[in-house]
Structure 1
Amino acid sequence: MPPAATTNLGYTPPDGGWGWAVVFGSFISIGFSYAFPKSLTIYFKEIQEYFSISYSEIAWVSSIMLATMYAGGPVSSILVNRYGSRPVVMVGGLLVSVGMIISSFGTSITHLYICVGVIGGFGLAFNLQPALTIIGKYFLVKRPIANGLAMAGSPVFLSTLAPLNQFLFDNFGWRGSFFILGAIVLNCCVAGSLMRPIKVKKVTPSPVFKGAAKEQVGNDKEDSGTPVDGLLEGQEQQDKKQAGCAAKVNQFIDISLFKHRGYLIYLVGNVVMFFGFFAPVVFLAPYAKHLGIDEYSAAFLLSIFALVDMVARPGTGLVANSRWIRPRIQYFFSFSVAYNGVCHLLLPLLGGAYAGLVVYAVLFGIAFGMVCALLFEVLMDLVGAQRFSSAVGLATIIECGPVLLGPPISGALVDIFMDYKYMYYACGVMMVVPGIFLFIMNYYNYRWLEQEEKQRKEQEELQIGTAKELAAMEEGYDSELGVKLSEEEETTHLPTKEA
């Protein structure tokens, strides 16, 4: 997409140095954000029995936490734009910690909804967004690699937190475990402390064209008698009046992104995609059990998936950073989304054998890792690092609906047909369709961008030519011959009053 990432930052990112410490901090922060809600499911059975509630009621704990994490995106964006990434991540770690510690004294499921779901969810939102944003401040050339390494925190933490939670549960019960997890998640504050802001002097744009325009207005001023400053100030006041309320909102979050063509294409594709993105992971082990496979082997499928995903994310970052893929990275993302869908469509055709499920777990792990590694990189490629914070905040609040509703809708398909294959068919279609949509629309978007870039260069060349011609006229040069005229020739060259 347009190479605006450097220009709208006002400096050249270092692409290394302390940036790798920032990547490590983002690795920790992103790992907790995505893995923490999933790892808490280990405690659900005991909590369900303790409060004498149904499985659907206890399942809302993770759903509320994930939905709040996505819905809190705009709030996190505003805070990041105002205060930077470091303090927001540290406050997020404190919020999750406080939520988990208070929930360990909970007396009802509603208590857990508020403490774990709402307070903890907002804390995770404050962890996720700044961690994604600050990578774009430190990296440009190596940004896909940095994003891939940071996003690898999700499978690494999931594979680590799952056995840790089982150990805590066996030794301390759910209350003691929640209290200890509240202390462990304070590591997000340590991760936030690594996110040191870059202090650079902003580069102001060249005043060549502005000066030329001012000179032109100045020449007109001599004839018309209208002050230059009055014209410029009047134009600025008119622009301010037209902006109105939107300008005030843009001080906090950039809603003008909804006029960005590439961003709208990204949003439409992602909203459809998220309806079928998480459900195949959630139902993989139950599907294996439905086919008669034992619980240990069914759980091992998730381990295979997580290990492959762990390798696929940084690997995708390396591939995306190659000179063949980077200029057209949106096509690579479109392929990744469609590839996910093809995996889901093929699963029922692999039969009920365990070997077929292992093949699916490997292929799906690669596909899932590819999408996760590219999900935010392509967004940054579209809007640039400067507007990324607002872009991801607005995107997450729109995507929280499909994230919340996708698994329940997929579960309803299983209840209706009493078979998992129709759910996987539906998820496959929900991934293939947006993949094709993104590929087609990005093809046209690249063409439109090339045409706009060509027109912009032509306008710049025309403005440069006009500015040079004005400068030459002022110094008494003939703009056509380039030869300095004598005083007598200048007098004859200039138009007389009679003329």
Structure 2
Amino acid sequence: MDQEGKAAPRTFTVQDKGWAWMVLISTVLVQGLTLGFPSCIGVFFKDLQHDFQASNSETSWFPSIMTAVLHAGGPLCSILVERFGCRTTVMLGGLLSGVGMVASAFSQSIGQLYVTAGFITGLGACFSFQAGVTVLGYYFVRRRALANALASTGVSIGFTLWPLLSQYLLDEMGWRNTFFVFGGVMLHCCVCGAMMRPVPVKPPAPSSKSGPGHLAEDIHLSNGLTHEVHLHRSRCDTCVQTLQKYLAFDVFCKNKGYRIYTIGVAWMVMGFVLPMIYLVPYAVLNGVEERKAALLISIIGFINIFMRPMAGLLSGLKIFTGRRIYLFSGAVALNGLSNLICAISAEYSAFILYCVVYSISMSVLGALIFQVLMDVVEMDRFSSALGLFTILESITILIGPPLAGLLVDLTGHFSYVFYASSFFMVTAALFMGFSFCTMEAKNRLTETHNPTPENPSRGKYTEVPMELGPEKNRSPAVIYVTSI
């Protein structure tokens, strides 16, 4: 790279070929280690509950905090990526995850577990995952969609392997030693991060109004009072710009489609995460052998490996153009109704049927959740819209499992968890489906009376093109496509 920041021609030879595929393999491993890890927490649920003498609600706070931090840390991860780069951020995340799991092995109370395995490991997993997906946006341009689809298979592989490995280690050495081993496994994110060599890119042009040179000039030329005023305004402007960049509150207020979708998904995930935490203890409580119970989560992950790419191809058909939100809502409803299988019957054959139906609908959700978000938000605001989207999503992820655990403590029946999950999912599907249908009907009526509205895209559900201009090919706006 020359002094002006322009990349030499050789720097573009790495994109879509050569070392880019090694980076893709590293990203697959990172996703399996980070997003796949929470799927095994249900294996340790009863042991943690017994050792710490904790209730179902208290024990469920541990996976809730981990999953919520994994989602909510996205804006902080973006700041680290801009400051230190993807490679350093992934390695930092791997180090945090490893330290968190090792420290959790020495926890003497459930509260300490919240901090170590919940917050520290969750934050490290967020850094590794988000930065790992970000780097794909720099290494892949023409084949970016293919790279993201292949990278998402890492989540399914993690879902398949983590529960089986967890149950085996738990039987052999107990949960403390297992967490200690997991600390070493999570450190492999550092190895994957080391393979993500930075691609030289042109730095953004410095602002002529708020840059350090302008501020220094103001300080030099102004008196003390003026200096304080300028410094205060500069800080306020920086805060406002940061909020607009990472949290799109203005989009939430003005774009009705984004507002409906964000509220609907936030309500949906309150029930979506419950089966992954309570399925294994529910099966064990009903007489299923522990290893066979852990196999249920692996079945969900194994089916996801094949179904998620198929779901992505299905959603790309012309028949679903402009109708992906309805396909998504249908998958949400099917996922919610599938929980009734577990609530009605606790036979192992019923559990197998449940895993198949749940996994199929889950694959569609994973393939569409951020594609629909791209449809309702302009791509130049997608990154900031996603920041607010994931934070609101993490709030309901945080409170959902503890509320379900409290329901179990009060009633003594795990089946109510699956009834609650079904309620949240089905109501969210109905809300999103009917709201978008009503909104489109109003838009058509408005267009009939006013063919040239002042702002036709405001609050309207349309297919926003994913292809950017040449100057935006490297935009991180498409870096979170697989962060379900």
TM score, norm. by length of structure 1: 0.68
The residue identity in structure 2 corresponding to 1:397 is I
Of 389, 398, 404, the match for 1:395: 389
Of 245, 250, 260, the match for 1:265: 260
The residue identity in structure 2 corresponding to 1:74 is P
Q: Which residue of 1 aligns with 2:79?
A: 78
Q: Is the 8 A contact 2:43 2:294 kept in 1?
A: no
Q: Which residue of 1 aligns with 2:103?
A: 102
In the alignment, the residues of structure 1 paired with residue 132 and residue 407 of structure 2 have an alpha-carbon distance, to the nearest angstrom, of 36
1:31-430 correspondence to structure 2 within 5 Å: 31-43=32-44, 57-135=58-136, 145-169=146-170, 173-195=174-196, 246-247=240-241, 249-250=243-244, 254-259=248-253, 261=255, 262-288=257-283, 295=290, 297-325=292-320, 328-345=323-340, 348=343, 351=345, 353-383=347-377, 387-416=381-410, 419-430=413-424
Alignment partner of 1:275: what SS? Answer: helix
Q: CA deviation at 1:268?
A: 0.7
Q: Is the 8 A contact 2:270 2:396 kept in 1?
A: yes
Moved more, 297-306 or 270-279: 297-306
In the alignment, the residues of structure 1 paired with residue 265 and residue 299 of structure 2 have an alpha-carbon distance, to the nearest angstrom, of 26
Q: Is the 8 A contact 2:272 2:421 kept in 1?
A: yes
189 and 338 in structure 1: CA distance in 2 versus 1, 3 angstrom threshold? same
In the alignment, the residues of structure 1 paired with residue 250 and residue 298 of structure 2 have an alpha-carbon distance, to the nearest angstrom, of 42
In the alignment, the residues of structure 2 paired with residue 314 and residue 289 of structure 1 have an alpha-carbon distance, to the nearest angstrom, of 32
Q: Is the 8 A contact 1:144 1:317 kept in 2?
A: no
359 and 116 in structure 1: CA distance in 2 versus 1, 3 angstrom threshold? closer
Q: Is the 8 A contact 1:347 1:360 kept in 2?
A: yes
The residue identity in structure 2 corresponding to 1:114 is V
Q: Which residue of 2 aligns with 1:467?
A: none
Over residues 304-327 of structure 1, what are the superposed CA-to-partner deviations in whole Å (9 max), with x where a residue is unaligned? Answer: 323223322222222233444355
Q: Is the 8 A contact 1:276 1:430 kept in 2?
A: yes
Over residues 380-399 of structure 1, what are the superposed CA-to-partner deviations in whole Å (9 max), with x where a residue is unaligned? Answer: 44445654443333222212
Moved more, 195-204 or 418-427: 195-204
Residue 432, structure 1, aligned to residue 426, structure 2: yes
In the alignment, the residues of structure 1 paired with residue 381 and residue 154 of structure 2 have an alpha-carbon distance, to the nearest angstrom, of 24
In the alignment, the residues of structure 2 paired with residue 356 and residue 106 of structure 1 have an alpha-carbon distance, to the nearest angstrom, of 37
In the alignment, the residues of structure 2 paired with residue 118 and residue 49 of structure 1 have an alpha-carbon distance, to the nearest angstrom, of 22
Q: Is the 8 A contact 1:145 1:321 kept in 2?
A: no
Q: Is the 8 A contact 2:16 2:141 kept in 1?
A: no
Moved more, 69-78 or 143-152: 143-152
Moved more, 401-410 or 109-118: 109-118
In the alignment, the residues of structure 1 paired with residue 245 and residue 350 of structure 2 have an alpha-carbon distance, to the nearest angstrom, of 53
Alignment partner of 1:276: what SS? Answer: helix
Q: Is the 8 A contact 2:163 2:295 kept in 1?
A: no
Moved more, 335-344 or 386-395: 386-395
136 and 266 in structure 1: CA distance in 2 versus 1, 3 angstrom threshold? farther
Q: Which residue of 2 aligns with 1:230?
A: none
Alignment partner of 2:270: what SS? Answer: coil
Q: CA deviation at 1:362?
A: 0.8
Q: Is the 8 A contact 1:77 1:253 kept in 2?
A: no
Moved more, 88-97 or 241-250: 241-250
Q: Which residue of 2 aligns with 1:3?
A: none
In the alignment, the residues of structure 1 paired with residue 176 and residue 278 of structure 2 have an alpha-carbon distance, to the nearest angstrom, of 28
In the alignment, the residues of structure 2 paired with residue 445 and residue 189 of structure 1 have an alpha-carbon distance, to the nearest angstrom, of 47
Q: Is the 8 A contact 2:251 2:258 kept in 1?
A: yes
Alignment partner of 1:340: what SS? Answer: helix
Q: Is the 8 A contact 2:128 2:189 kept in 1?
A: yes
Moved more, 191-200 or 358-367: 191-200
The residue identity in structure 2 corresponding to 1:182 is G
Q: Is the 8 A contact 1:78 1:253 kept in 2?
A: no
Q: Max radius of gyration: which structure?
A: 1
383 and 422 in structure 1: CA distance in 2 versus 1, 3 angstrom threshold? same
- Structure 1: which 5+ residue stretches go unaligned? 1-11, 205-239, 459-499
How many equivalent residue pairs? 412
Q: Is the 8 A contact 2:61 2:402 kept in 1?
A: no
Over residues 364-405 of structure 1, what are the superposed CA-to-partner deviations in whole Å (9 max), with x where a residue is unaligned? Answer: 111112212322333344445654443333222212222122
- Structure 2: which 5+ residue stretches go unaligned? 1-11, 206-233, 457-484
151 and 43 in structure 1: CA distance in 2 versus 1, 3 angstrom threshold? same
Moved more, 114-123 or 421-430: 421-430
In the alignment, the residues of structure 2 paired with residue 143 and residue 376 of structure 1 have an alpha-carbon distance, to the nearest angstrom, of 15
369 and 453 in structure 1: CA distance in 2 versus 1, 3 angstrom threshold? farther
